[in-house]
Structures are given as structure tokens and as C-alpha cells.
Amino acid sequence: MRVPVRYFLSLAAAASLAGCEPDFSDEAPVQSAGSLDLSRYVAIGDDFTAGVANRSLSRAGQEYSFPNLLARQFRLLGGGEFVQPLLGPDERTGGFVLTGFTGQNQALLGMGPVTFLDSVRLNAGSPCSELQYQFPRWSDAGRIPNNLGIPNLKLSQLNIAGLGNEVNQGTSGYNAFYERILPLNSDRTYFSLIRAARPTFVTVSFGMGDLMTFIQSGGSCGSPLPSGSTLTAPLGRLADSLIAIPSLRGAFLGLPFASNLPLLSTTISSLNKKLGRTDTTSMFVLNSTGAVTRTVYNDVILLPMVSRIGRMENATGQPATAPFGLDPANPLRDQDVVSDRNISDLNGRINANNSINTVLKQKAAASGGRFIYLDLGTFYLNLAKGAYINGVSYNSDPVTGGVYNYDGYTFSPRGNALLANAIIDLLADSDKSFGVKVPLLDVNQFPATPLP
């Protein structure tokens, strides 16, 4: 039997010739910096910009801060180095840690360690005392970092000389983290530092930090709530000064409604319903005058207390003989509850006439297209509804939802990646002015919220 070998061989040759893989070499990826010069991106803001997470500043929080994630994508489009004043690997400023779960799978929170020991306490003895951490000076102090997010920086402090000078330590005109990034004994104002950084592109995120002292203390500290003008006047001046820097472009980040944050989304009525109580309107709270009163329907219980309600323990986790919050003998503390009136006041500071969002919107509109206002309201609202991203489901549960941290308002690494993506989307949306197309982050590749 003579097999016609050459015919079969030519068949095999045909097969090997066509052995190519499919590819996209004929289509370039869709990416362009448009009219933006991303060579020196500078992030301006407070806790959120700095990478504070779970009421704690740590190196991981800084590395997953939304500006650092944005800068990572900007580098694909010719963006420059993004320098952050990083803490040491094990340094952190306390904050929440997850200690376990209740039988109903509700998270229990405790406080993490503070590694900066020589801290100064302002207003010692008062429930509203404030710790000024003794950060070691940044090793590159003198150089200006790209991330100018300063934890605890208030809008009223943007133009204060000496804010970063050690001599002012122990006063309210001092910010320890700001001192960390300045050379010794520098009186430079925050705004002067921004100018000296000679940015080509900025993001500006302010306001939430100013409101947080009030929110997190249930309205007991930082009160009365700063008036609209107290917030918008310095913010407007900051915007004007930035717009005055020739050829600088930037984005003003709007704030979400306070009530869209998980920290403030548990109302008395919703929690009573969840606990199956017949009294759906009230719980008991020890108010500032020392009387135990009933809460009202739409009062909000701050997130860290939610899992303790109904347990035989008090606000600090000590055993009690009556269920927490549900019995006059074991009431909530004043600082655990934000009244419904305070919530609507907060929302007014954020998004109403003479509010943070409004002034940013107006300033952007008057910038001749060099600055845009990014409305993140829809982004926060959609988080509350939940999202499904490449097979991972995200929602606003602060422990298992994957987006928020235990504190209920800062973002996990994945949450910050989602925020960075939302910013990138909004920048592309306004391509009339910038024409920018930045590749998005693979959100799921960032660390998940660690669980026991």
C-alpha cells in the first residue's frame, strides 16, 4: 500500500501556515490625554484625598487613595510621577478595626492601635477633645508631594500662616500632618504650597472633612454646624485662586448627600422594622441634659452603634441588664444619634443654595472650560442600589459590601478604585472641554475588605 504521502503533507502544511492567533494589532486602544497636561497632577483636599480610611491614616490607605489610583491611570497617558508623603509600613492613627460578628452576622467594631505616641490632645477632658498626632517628619520634607490631601484640614485653614509650624502645636491653628510635609519651622500657607507645586492638573475635594466632626459626634462636637458661608466663602476663594493660575486645568469633586452615606443611612424606623419591633418609631437616648428621651422616626443611628442595638451591653460593649437602645435603662448616648433636622441641615450644606456643591459648580462654569464640576451624586446613589462588576457584586454594606469601610463613609481600596473610575468617566463625559479618554481600573484586582 503506497500512501500518497506528499498530498497528506501538503494538507498538514496548509494547517500550519494558518496557525496564527487572533489579535487587535489593527486597532489602537482608545486612550488620549486630550487637552490635559498630566505631567504634574496635584490632588488638593482633606481626609478623603489623603487616603484616610476607617478614621485612620495608614500607608495602605495612602497607597489606595483615589488620587494615587487616578495617577496610576494618568501615567498610561504620559502622566508624571505621583509622590505621596507615605507613612512607614506599620504606622497608623488608630481607627476602627473589625473585632468579630454577632450571631446575626452584624459586624462588631473596636479601635485599632495608634503608633504615634507623643500626641497632643486639644481640649483634653472634653468629649470633643481632638488628638494632634506627632507624625515623624516626612523624609522628603521640602520637596512638594503630588498628593496634598491633608487629614483634618478645614476649609477655614487654607490661608492660615503657621498651620504647619511646630510652635503652634496644641492650638487650633495647627495641623500635624501638614507640618510633616513642610520643612522645619515653615510658616507657608496651604494655598502657597499648592502654587509652589506648579500643578498642570488638579482635583479638588473639600467639605466632607469639615462636616465629619459634627456628624461623627452625633452633632455634639463641631456644633453648631458651620453655616453655608463659613464653608463656601473659603472654598470659593480657593477655586478662584486656582482658576487664576494660567493654563491650569482641573476638576472640582462634588459631595454626596449625607443621607446617601451608609454612616447615616440607618434610621430608627428602618432598624426597628429590621429588628421586628412593633414600636417602629422610637428608641431611647440619653440627651445632653441628662434626661432619657425617645428618638423620632427619622433620627439616624450612627453606623458603628447599629450592630449593638438590642444587645445586653452598653455603647462601649460593657455587659448590661437591658437591651441597648430599646430600654430606658440602657439608652443610646447623645453622640450616637443624629437628629433628622441635623441630617437635613447637613444635606443643605452639601447641595442647596450657598452650599459646597453649588459654589463649585458656579466656579467651574465661570472658568472658561478649564475647570469642570464632577457630580458624584449619581455614583453614590448607585452604590446604595448595588452594582455588579465583572462578576463581583458590590453594595453599600460597610463590612461585606466591598465598597465602604467600617466607618461607613470612606472607601475600601476597591471603593476608591470605583471612585477613580467614576471620576475618569465624568472627565470623559465632559470631553467637550478636555477630550480625555483614560483607561479604567480593574476594580476587582484591589484588596477586598479583610474579614475574619
Partner 1 sequence: MALLAVLPLSGAVAGGFQTLPASAPVLGLGGAATAMSRDASAAWFNPGALGMLDSANVSFGLTGMRVGRIFRSATTQQNTTADAGFIASPYLYAALPLDSAKRLVVALAVNSPFAYDTQWPKDWEGRALLQRNRVRSLYVQPTVAYRISDRFSIGGGVMLVGADYLLERSAGEFDNASAKYDASGNGIGWNVGIKGRSGDAISFGISYRSAVKVEMSNGTATFSGIPSSQTFRYPASTGFGTTLHMPSQLAAGISIMVSEKLMLNFTFELTGWSDYDSLVVRYDNDVRPAERAGRKYQDAMAFRVGAEYQLKPSLAVRAGIYYDESPVRDQNITPDFPDANVFGGAVGLGYQATRHIRLDAAYTYGLSATRNARADATQLTTPAIGGQYRNNQHGGAVNLSYFF
Q: Under the rule (CB under 8 A), what is the footprint of partner 1?
A: 1, 3-4, 7-8, 11-12, 14-15, 18-24, 27, 29-31, 100-101, 105, 382, 385, 387-393, 400, 402, 421, 439-442, 444-445, 447-448, 450-452
Alpha carbons 365 and 202: distance in angstroms, whole number: 16
Q: Which is nearer to partner 1, 14 or 117 (CB)?
A: 14
CA proximity to 323, closest of 272, 264, 397, 398: 272
Q: Which is nearer to partner 1, 7 or 224 (CB)?
A: 7
Nearest approach, Cβ of residue 382 and partner 1 (Å): 7
Nearest approach, Cβ of residue 444 and partner 1 (Å): 5
What residue type is assigned to position 12 of the chain? A
Nearest approach, Cβ of residue 323 and partner 1 (Å): 23
Alpha carbons 377 and 392: distance in angstroms, whole number: 22
Q: Are strands 292-294 and 120-122 parallel, antiparallel or unpaired?
A: unpaired
Which grid cell is 11? 494538507
Residue 340 buriedness (CB in 10 A; 0-12 / 13-18 / 19+): middle
Q: Which is nearer to partner 1, 224 or 452 (CB)?
A: 452
Q: Which is nearer to partner 1, 276 or 450 (CB)?
A: 450
CA proximity to 194, closest of 212, 208, 181, 180: 181
Alpha carbons 237 and 328: distance in angstroms, whole number: 48
158 contacts 190 by C-beta, under 8 angstroms? yes
Q: Which is nearer to partner 1, 286 or 424 (CB)?
A: 424
Three-point CA angle 181, 183, 188, nearest 5°: 85
CA proximity to 166, closest of 148, 184, 147, 188: 184
CA distances from 273 to 161, 261, 301 (A): 52, 20, 14
Q: Which is nearer to partner 1, 279 or 442 (CB)?
A: 442
Q: Which is nearer to partner 1, 196 or 392 (CB)?
A: 392
271 contacts 309 by C-beta, under 8 angstroms? yes
HSE, CB side, 13 Å, CA atoms: give it for residue 346.
29
What's the sign of the alpha-carbon dihedral 234, 235, 238, 243?
A: negative
Nearest approach, Cβ of residue 309 and partner 1 (Å): 20
From edge to edge, which strands make up the β-sheet containing 147-149? Answer: 147-149, 41-45, 201-205, 249-253, 371-374
Nearest approach, Cβ of residue 379 and partner 1 (Å): 11
Nearest approach, Cβ of residue 99 and partner 1 (Å): 11
Q: Cell 481600573 maps to which residue?
A: 441
Nearest approach, Cβ of residue 28 and partner 1 (Å): 9
Which letter does DSSP use for residue 100 in this model?
E
Nearest approach, Cβ of residue 398 and partner 1 (Å): 14
Run of H or E including 111: strand 107-111
Nearest approach, Cβ of residue 390 and partner 1 (Å): 5
Q: Which is nearer to partner 1, 1 or 117 (CB)?
A: 1
Nearest approach, Cβ of residue 91 and partner 1 (Å): 23
Q: Which is nearer to partner 1, 44 or 419 (CB)?
A: 419
Q: Which is nearer to partner 1, 117 or 388 (CB)?
A: 388
Nearest approach, Cβ of residue 88 and partner 1 (Å): 24
Query: Does residue 447 have a cis peptide bond before it, meaning omega lies within 30 degrees of 0?
Result: no
Alpha carbons 135 and 212: distance in angstroms, whole number: 22
166 contacts 204 by C-beta, under 8 angstroms? no
Q: Which is nearer to partner 1, 73 or 93 (CB)?
A: 73
